[in-house]
Structure 1
Amino acid sequence: MKAVLYPNFQKKNALSCARETCDVLDRAGIEVCVSGKFRDDFKDKRVTFEDIGTSAHTADIVIAIGGDGTILRCAKHLMGTDTKMLGINTGTLGFMAGLEADQLDKLALLTTGEYTVSERMTIDVVTHGEDGDHTYTALNEVSARSAGFRISDFDVCSDGYLIGRYRADGVLFSTPSGSTAYALSAGGPVIEPDLECIEMTLICPHSLFSRATLFSKDRRLTLTDRTSSDRLVVSVDGEIKKQLGDGESIEIMRGRNTLRFVDLIGNSFHESLCRKLCRPLK
């Protein structure tokens, strides 16, 4: 079995966690691979060095060590592969992580098959412009909001039918995995991550009657900017991709790719939810 480490050493304790992860995997007889840019950090460990762009396609599992942002960046390397993914949280919340830094002994279960795999859907967003059409994939969400943080006007259609004309700071289109991210802060529901649907949540709507809406995974949604100034800026998992022009639109649909997340402790999502949201943060 081959495991690739994808650490984010900007997170506190990530380096010590990654080094201990190497030791646990080595004792379990699992080959460990890390990027060559971390050679000095792992030169005393039994690891091989290979670029993540290559190793992600040949490994059995990729282990991201950091916070949810680290997991999102790691996920981009796994699009279109069958490689499984596991997050180890050394960040603040880490909803997408399957283990905490004090649970590394569970990694030995990778060799016995005593774990479950959750299939996570993605969403694709297609942008249209003078430079042609571009497709981007999100594991968490696609957001559209004013570049100047002013109120925006936009239409949303589902399979060609007008759903609503909205006035709000913006809108989020989220996967179930992304329901505990920006969408949760915007008032959206918590959705089990292995479900398949598209969540639409308005950001600070100028309305007394607005609720998050869940669409079938098979819907094709279209957002059209009707704002007279401060055009909508489209971001995919927090990365800005495009600023819309007058009357321009984007299309949102179920992603072509799915990602496979490993759960070593059983019901890690609900355990994480209760531990990190149902109790005061220290």
Structure 2
Amino acid sequence: MNISAIAEILKKSHHDWEIEFLPSIDSTNTELSRRFSKSAVAPFFVLCADEQTAGRGRMERQWYSVPSADITASLIFPSPVSKSDTPKLALSAGLALVEVLESDFRLEAKLRWPNDVMTTRGKLAGILCAYLNIPDAVITGIGINVNSAPDAFPLGPDRSNSTIRHELGYEVEREQLLANWILSFESKWKLARKEMIDELKNEFDRFNFYLGRKVKILVGAASSRDDADDKSFDEIEGIAGGLDDSGELVVVRGDGSLYAVSIEDVIEPLE
């Protein structure tokens, strides 16, 4: 990956981003946590890796990527943030990617709350936010299936994966995609920090994978490190709507009452 090309595009940012590329690492999120968990102030820093040997997604599921073909990266930046802001942060990151895919490649994608980017063919990307116990900082990791083939990935819980190359029929420049996502992410997070959540909620409605679908919620299942299929959780069924002001997905139950889906819950479509 050409770091100079990424840095050139990021000159459009109002911040001075430091960028580092590693041929191989266990996890970019884990590495940033190791480096900055005891820092007094977080920098504007992007870590990219050609290969992750222990990449993880939500619920500790393994994240697979193809070296020299896909994007695995994590970034950290100083911003007033708390653990309760995690849904808004993931929302900002996800919206940034689907809008870049739409504007740069005319590729239609949806956001599967809280952290997946989907097409009709399968999962394109995943986002994982990690809260650090240091002042005003959070790590945002992203994995994007870019130029690999869908059959390069093991069959996991999502059952299907797709890649940008598979969707478009040609390869794209990873550097441009990553840099434009960072710029867009900055813009979306700025809206969230200005409490312009209504604008983000309206944007999310355009890309809401679950909107209007009947779903089942497994309460607290995402917080379990064990397989949710092996445990019993309280279940809630209803029709998925939009977001509340905290960035959580709202489900309308059969009796008309509302349930705000926590990032600790698991959503399963029923249709």
TM-score exceeds 0.5: no
Greater share of strand: 1
Q: What TM-score comes out, normalization by structure 1 length?
A: 0.22
Q: Which structure is larger by alpha-carbon Rg, 1 or 2?
A: 1
